[in-house]
Amino acid sequence: MHHFQYRDGELYAEDVPVRAIAKKVGTPFYLYSTATLKRHFQVFDEAFSGLPHLVCYSIKANSNLAILRLFANKGSGADIVSGGELYRALKAGFPPKKIVFSGVGKTQREMREALKAGILMFNVESLGELKTLAQVAKRMGKVAPIAIRINPDVDPKTHPHITTGLMKSKFGLDVETAFEAYLFAKEHPNLDILGVDCHIGSQLTEISPFVEALKRIKIFVEKLKEHGIKIKYIDLGGGLGIVYGKESPPPPSEYAQALKQELAGLDVTLILEPGRVIVGNAGILVTRVLYFKETPVKNFVIIDAAMNDLLRPVLYQAYHEIIPILSKNRPKLVADVVGPVCETGDFFARDREIPKVKSGELLAVMSAGAYGFVMASNYNSRPRPAEVMVNGKDFYVVRKRENYARLIAGEKIPPFLENKSA
């Protein structure tokens, strides 16, 4: 459920016509719905009621400060993967004790920053990282709270680029090595074992891989217990999928029910790190048609957004629905919807049946709230788009469109090139 709906043939975001925002802000821009964000968070969180749990929104999915503040206000925790995300999380007001730090390559600087902030726990992904963290904590006179990320070797049946819980992937540790890591941590005065962590992949549309992973974690937790290691948290990561097109992922209630069943009788708090399922369908990318081009073999709709704004179609062959802002019901045609970037991969849709569109009109690329703006780049020296948040009848620019000066900010011509003869 989201709040981007047609009213009298015109697309609205909550109570605002999308056209009015485009007029004020220009295109392309990302548009987020506050009501949808709130609802998705609430539905997810409430699905786990009755079970001790902490939802740590995965910041990487959409890290705009306004969105982070909204979730922080709702009582969410945060899943971070870099010093930059820690900085954002703290600025947005997440309590440090609700922040978990994931990722295979944390630097010493990032470890120091997170220890200084006093986060809930580090999800550690290798023995090298664990030993480094212990040293860093020792030098600071601190104790680092940790979980080890287990690679449970289950197939999440999703796109290979977003599969993380298979043995051949770079993430986490196999159970044998993880066990060694726990024994090391148990003996180290600067490490405090809090949990066991795992994340098997993203855009999962079935529950069984999650349950399978949890079963394996439970066996592992039992083994730790036999060795005198008590676990307070099981962090199951994120990964629940959404509807982009024809998928039918389970609703959070079913997902939660399955996990609750598995966890019954266990004295642990469940941590979840959802990203996409909360923000994915709460955002769209609004773009304008520049040209319509017919060639002997194909039709092209050329729009003012490009792969630098939304990378998912070319990177994962991802499907995003594309709809006109005005009147959906009209003759259809089959076309490629493409951007202005000089790459064949710069497409939003290929051989797609879409309503016949004219140059100058507005389109919405749906389900763009997760892994949209956060993966945008300046390729082809294109300023990154604006981000706008709707709340009822009002809308706010929550990140202004970049300008040309911003494109070259930080670049410098060295003195030896300053005169023309160099």
Which are the catalytic amino acids? 342
Which range of residues in 40-48, 198-206, 248-256, 321-329 is near ligand LLP by CB under 6 A?
198-206
CA distances from 74 to 44, 68, 269, 407 (A): 12, 10, 19, 35
* Tokens 């070797």 found at: 153
Nearer to ligand LLP (CB atom), residue 341 or residue 370: 370
Specify the 3-state DSSP secondary structure of 162.
helix
Question: How far, in Å, CA of 398 to CA of 32, rounded?
Answer: 10
The answer to whether residue 237 forms part of the interface with ligand LLP (CB under 6 A) is yes
Question: How far, in Å, CA of 69 to CA of 253, rounded?
Answer: 25
Quick check: 204 and 158 in contact, CB under 8 A? yes
> Residues 274, 324, 339, 385: which binds ligand LLP (CB under 6 A)?
274
Question: Total number of residues binding ligand LLP (CB under 6 A)?
Answer: 22
The answer to whether residue 113 forms part of the interface with ligand LLP (CB under 6 A) is no
The answer to whether residue 371 forms part of the interface with ligand LLP (CB under 6 A) is yes
> Residues 27, 34, 151, 203: which binds ligand LLP (CB under 6 A)?
203
Please name every residue paired with 234 in a beta bridge, in sequence order, or none if there are none: 196, 270
Length of the chain: 422
Quick check: 151 and 128 in contact, CB under 8 A? no
Whether omega for the bond prior to residue 415 falls within 30 degrees of 0, making it cis, is no
> Residues 172, 209, 275, 313: which binds ligand LLP (CB under 6 A)?
275
Specify the 3-state DSSP secondary structure of 121.
strand
Least distance to ligand LLP, CB of residue 318, Å:
7
Window 76-95: contact mask with ligand LLP (x via CB under 6 A): ---x----------------
Which pair of tokens denotes residue 364?
């919405």
Which pair of tokens denotes residue 207?
């529950």
The answer to whether residue 151 forms part of the interface with ligand LLP (CB under 6 A) is no
| Cα Dmax for the chain | 77
> Residues 45, 129, 273, 387: which binds ligand LLP (CB under 6 A)?
273
Least distance to ligand LLP, CB of residue 282, Å:
13
Least distance to ligand LLP, CB of residue 387, Å:
17
Least distance to ligand LLP, CB of residue 290, Å:
25
* Tokens 């300008």 found at: 403
* Tokens 């994120």 found at: 238
Least distance to ligand LLP, CB of residue 271, Å:
10
The answer to whether residue 202 forms part of the interface with ligand LLP (CB under 6 A) is yes
Site residues for ligand LLP, 302-361, by CB under 6 A, read 312, 316
Q: Residues forming the annotated binding site?
A: 239, 273-276, 312, 316, 343, 371
Q: Residues forming the annotated binding site for substrate?
A: 276, 312, 316, 343, 371
| CB proximity list for 153: less than 8 A, separation 6 or greater | 165, 166, 167, 174, 216
Least distance to ligand LLP, CB of residue 310, Å:
9
Question: How far, in Å, CA of 251 to CA of 248, rounded?
Answer: 9
> Residues 28, 165, 238, 249: which binds ligand LLP (CB under 6 A)?
238
Question: How far, in Å, CA of 255 to CA of 58, rounded?
Answer: 17
The answer to whether residue 262 forms part of the interface with ligand LLP (CB under 6 A) is no
> Nearest to residue 70, comparing CAs of 366, 285, 391, 309?
391
> Residues in the site for ligand LLP, rule: CB under 6 A?
58, 60-61, 79, 102, 162, 199, 202-203, 237-240, 273-277, 312, 316, 370-371
